[in-house]
Amino acid sequence: MHNQNHPPPLPLHRRWVRRRAWPNRVFAVVYASAIAALVFRHTTHLLTSHSTLVSLTMLLADVILAFMWFTHQGFRMNPVRRKTFPENLPEDGTGFPAMDVFICTADPEKEPPMVAVNTALSTLAFDYPTEKLSVYLSDDGGSKVTLFAFVEAAKFAKEWIPYCKENRIMDRSPEAYFSSDYACFPRTHEIKVMYESMKAKVEKGDINNVYEETNVFNQWDANFTRQNHPTVIKVLLDGTEESDVLGHAVPNLIYLRVSEAMTNAPIILTLDCDMYSNHPKTPLKALCYFLDPSTDSNKIAFVQFPQIFQGIKEDDIYGAEFKFIFQINMAGFDGLLGPSHVGTGCFFRRQVFYGGPSSGTLEQTQTQSIRSNKVLDRCHEVASCDFEAQTKWGYELGYRYGSMIEDFNTGYHLHCNGWRSVFCLPKRPAFVGTAPRNLHDLLNQTQRWSMGLLDMNFSKYSPLNHGLKHLTFFQSMCYIHYIFWPIWCIPLLIYSLLPQLALIHSFPIFPKVSDPWFLLYGLLFVGAYGQDFLEYKLGGGTTRGWYNNQRAWMIRSLSSYTFAIIEYTSTKLWASPAVFNVTSKVVDQEASTRYENGMMEFGVESLFFYPISVAALHNLIALIFGVVGVLKHGGLEDLFMQFLLVGFGVVNSWPIYQAMVFRSDPGKMPLKITLTSVAIASMLNLVAPFAF
Ligand SMILES: O=c1ccn([C@@H]2O[C@H](COP(=O)(O)OP(=O)(O)O[C@H]3O[C@H](CO)[C@@H](O)[C@H](O)[C@H]3O)[C@@H](O)[C@H]2O)c(=O)[nH]1
């Protein structure tokens, strides 16, 4: 009880269980019963079937679909939404912990340095006590051009930070700001000119002049390579010594990949180089959880914001927004132990990297100047490649290494160690990044994720055994759902090949229309698709976006998931290392225009396109043969479901036919792929007589 002299402290956040939780639970019971009925039907059908091989294959497809549906239910049992009240935090920042922001970049070709510069500037200008803020750039590319860009950015920051704060600008990435419908303030034009000239200088990459003047690049000698080079540490802004143009202190800006030896802030924000801050008060929203005295806040390992992308069209032809992964399923996770970690837009309590949640302090131990020799010597030591050799760092402690999905892996281990996490989905996106805007990049990205998930599945820390012991049942189910993501390819390959072959040979494999079992199939299809549609729409998506999203799921399943399984198997068999192909953040103007016009981009001779081209052609051939067969011999009632399925396949394949036949732009399907796919699809018919 609080008496009148001591009113209760104002709340920092609230949480509600979403209204859909109960309907989801009831629907799960109904749908599970329908699945049980389907399994019964399969079993009885097996005994009377004309082709045991076909029946067994269809059973396999349906068992996997059922398994994926079942594990997905974890996300639907207790979805929540939250709200933070940063206005209830002390206005002067008293008691705020120090914060280190980590921006990582790896390849100046695929990730233009100006992209990372904008991300850094947007965080340097956070509405956060400047003396408590440090921004680190981790450059795995070891790029002179990137460092040059950051030297320039450090100078510009002294103009940009006070400009943003004075005028309460929301878009604190200069690129986003100057591309928007920005308001004009007294210095706007001047600042814009400065920004444009910095950008031109960086894009020109004229480093030699700078090289003459300073010793910034003195470590890039003839032996310097991306893989093998000395530790480079540059303090580009030191808040204790430097100030901005108005005389206020600036945050620290450091070219370095470790921060423990330098500022050792209790809160760490991780960002991909392209994920700029879109709201200057975002750190305060994270603090609403870390500083909350009334809850078990010491157990909160991280506060995850969703990945939201700029430049994605509302229709999202590639499903690149991953609305389910980054938003809808996250709300489901959040009602359990907390969301998974998605690599970027995440505020961590530093302490989580050193052990379990027994002493969740937010104290900082840094005392020395970040330019002192003692600190710099220690940083060189810690940042060197062999510092962690023979330690548990990266395996049992710290951020997980050696994984294609180090983010997901790290979050999972934290949950297993007793930590919790929180999902924060503010109305105005907290961070905004770029997503692949062509099909090849997207398939490449999802193949990499899938390989990481398979690796986790077969590791000794798999959620199938390790997780089951440490997590709640539903949280485990969610993790298990993801580690099996790539096996979607099995039912999808079966469903896009087998019923079509059967149709070509007028062989019915589903119940006929008058059979009551036909209704069951209808219910299962409409139920799964209907729920998916509803969730997508309630998550703010459009109907067209949803349709494209389900097609993208089919494309990924047939292509990148299949190749992930093949490549993962080969890396295991031949012990070859898996390669992390960085997603390109470069925008190709011509391709961009095609994207804006809703055209799918093929253009390159990528292996990824073969399975989808073959499946598209195979469906078309099946439809034609099916129609001819029915016209000649009848039997529509028996084959009706196959027609529905094949028709659905053909409708979904429209952009592929278009790219093969009707387009002449550089994004069309390469002729070699079209011709090879025609040959493969035709040959498929030759094997059919053996099955039916
Ligand atoms: O050796 C590397 C490889 C990548 N990166 C950086 O990691 C980030 C993510 O790489 P990207 O190629 O953009 O991967 P995506 O698949 O697009 O990103 C998602 O998936 C990754 C792997 O799970 C996560 O690390 C990311 O945070 C998440 O946004 C980028 O800033 C890269 O510069 C490095 O610093 N070093």
Angle formed by the axes of helices 113-124 and 188-204, nearest 10°:
140
- Strands, E, within 283-396: which ranges? 300-304, 346-349
Task: Establish whether residue 106 lines the binding site of ligand 1, counting it when its CB lies within 6 angstroms of any ligand atom.
Answer: yes
Interval 519-552: pLDDT, tens? 999 999 999 999 999 999 999 999 999 999 999 9
Q: Which long-range contacts (CB under 8 A, 24 or more apart) does 312-316 make?
A: 312/435, 312/437, 313/595, 313/596, 313/598, 314/542, 314/544, 314/545, 315/542, 315/544, 315/545, 315/548, 315/598, 316/545, 316/548, 316/549, 316/552
Is residue 360 scored above 60 in pLDDT? no
Task: State yes or no: 203 annotated in a binding site.
Answer: no
Task: State yes or no: 111 annotated in a binding site.
Answer: yes
Look at residue 608 in the predicted model and tell me its pLDDT.
Answer: 97
Q: Which of 127, 140, 292, 665 is catalytic?
A: 140
Q: Reduce the DSSP state of residue 139 to 3 states and report it.
A: strand
Is residue 215 scored above 80 in pLDDT? no
Is residue 192 scored above 90 in pLDDT? yes
Task: Please indicate whether residue 407 is annotated as part of the active site.
Answer: yes
507-to-545, 629, 644 alpha-carbon distances in Å: 35, 10, 15
Q: Compute the distance between CA of residue 566 and CA of residue 170 in angstroms, rounded to an integer.
A: 46
Share above pLDDT 70 across residues of the chain, in percent, rounded to a whole number: 96
Look at residue 310 in the predicted model and tell me its pLDDT.
Answer: 93
Is residue 371 scored above 90 in pLDDT? no
For the segment 370-375, the average pLDDT, to the nearest whole number, is 86
Task: Establish whether residue 115 lines the binding site of ligand 1, counting it when its CB lies within 6 angstroms of any ligand atom.
Answer: no
CA 531 to ligand 1 centroid distance, Å: 31
Look at residue 19 in the predicted model and tell me its pLDDT.
Answer: 96
CA 115 to ligand 1 centroid distance, Å: 14
Interval 546-569: pLDDT, tens? 999 999 999 999 999 999 999 999
Q: Reduce the DSSP state of residue 100 to 3 states and report it.
A: strand
For the segment 50-74, the average pLDDT, to the nearest whole number, is 94
Is residue 379 scored above 90 in pLDDT? no
Is residue 180 scored above 70 in pLDDT? yes
pLDDT band at residue 651 under the 50/70/90 scheme: very high
Interval 492-501: pLDDT, tens? 999 999 999 9
For the segment 588-606, the average pLDDT, to the nearest whole number, is 93
pLDDT band at residue 212 under the 50/70/90 scheme: low
Contacts of residue 82, Cβ cutoff 8 Å, sequence gap at least 6: 13, 14, 15, 16, 334, 422, 423, 424, 425
Neighbouring CB atoms inside 10 A of 590's CB total 12
For the segment 278-289, the average pLDDT, to the nearest whole number, is 98
Is residue 474 scored above 80 in pLDDT? yes
CA 272 to ligand 1 centroid distance, Å: 6
Look at residue 213 in the predicted model and tell me its pLDDT.
Answer: 53
For the segment 141-168, the average pLDDT, to the nearest whole number, is 96
pLDDT band at residue 406 under the 50/70/90 scheme: very high
CA 541 to ligand 1 centroid distance, Å: 26
Look at residue 15 in the predicted model and tell me its pLDDT.
Answer: 96
For the segment 649-672, the average pLDDT, to the nearest whole number, is 97
Counting atoms of ligand 1 from 1, which one is nearest the CA of 272?
Answer: 31
Task: Establish whether residue 637 lines the binding site of ligand 1, counting it when its CB lies within 6 angstroms of any ligand atom.
Answer: no
Q: Reduce the DSSP state of residue 137 to 3 states and report it.
A: strand
Look at residue 374 in the predicted model and tell me its pLDDT.
Answer: 87
Neighbouring CB atoms inside 10 A of 51's CB total 14
Q: Minimum mean pLDDT among 72-76, 350-354, 487-491, 653-657: which range?
A: 350-354
Task: Please indicate whether residue 334 is annotated as part of the active site.
Answer: no
CA 309 to ligand 1 centroid distance, Å: 14
Is residue 8 scored above 90 in pLDDT? no
Taking CA atoms only, the protein residue closest to ligand 1 atom 8 is 272
Q: Which of 407, 441, 455, 638 is catalytic?
A: 407
pLDDT band at residue 270 under the 50/70/90 scheme: very high
Average pLDDT, whole number, for the chain? 92
Is residue 295 scored above 70 in pLDDT? no
Counting atoms of ligand 1 from 1, which one is nearest the CA of 433?
Answer: 29
Q: Compute the distance between CA of residue 478 and CA of residue 331 in angstroms, rounded to an integer.
A: 12
Query: What does the DSSP assignment read for 435-493?
Result: ---SHHHHHHHHHHHHHHHHHHHTSTT-IIIIIHHHS-HHHHHHHHHHHTGGGGHHHHH
- Strands, E, within 579-633: which ranges? none
Amino acid at 628: V
For the segment 643-658, the average pLDDT, to the nearest whole number, is 98
Counting atoms of ligand 1 from 1, which one is nearest the CA of 581?
Answer: 12
pLDDT band at residue 222 under the 50/70/90 scheme: confident
Interface predicted TM-score of the whole assembly (ipTM), two decimals: 0.96
Is residue 327 scored above 70 in pLDDT? yes
For the segment 385-403, the average pLDDT, to the nearest whole number, is 80
For the segment 165-177, the average pLDDT, to the nearest whole number, is 97
Is residue 13 scored above 90 in pLDDT? yes
Is residue 407 scored above 70 in pLDDT? yes
Share above pLDDT 90 across residues of the chain, in percent, rounded to a whole number: 78
- The answer to whether 99 touches 47, Cβ cutoff 8 Å, is no
Beta-bridge partners for 300: 420
Q: What is the CA radius of gyration of the chain?
A: 28
Is residue 381 scored above 50 in pLDDT? yes
pLDDT band at residue 1 under the 50/70/90 scheme: very low
Beta-bridge partners for 348: 268, 302
Interval 424-448: pLDDT, tens? 999 999 999 999 989 999 999 999 9
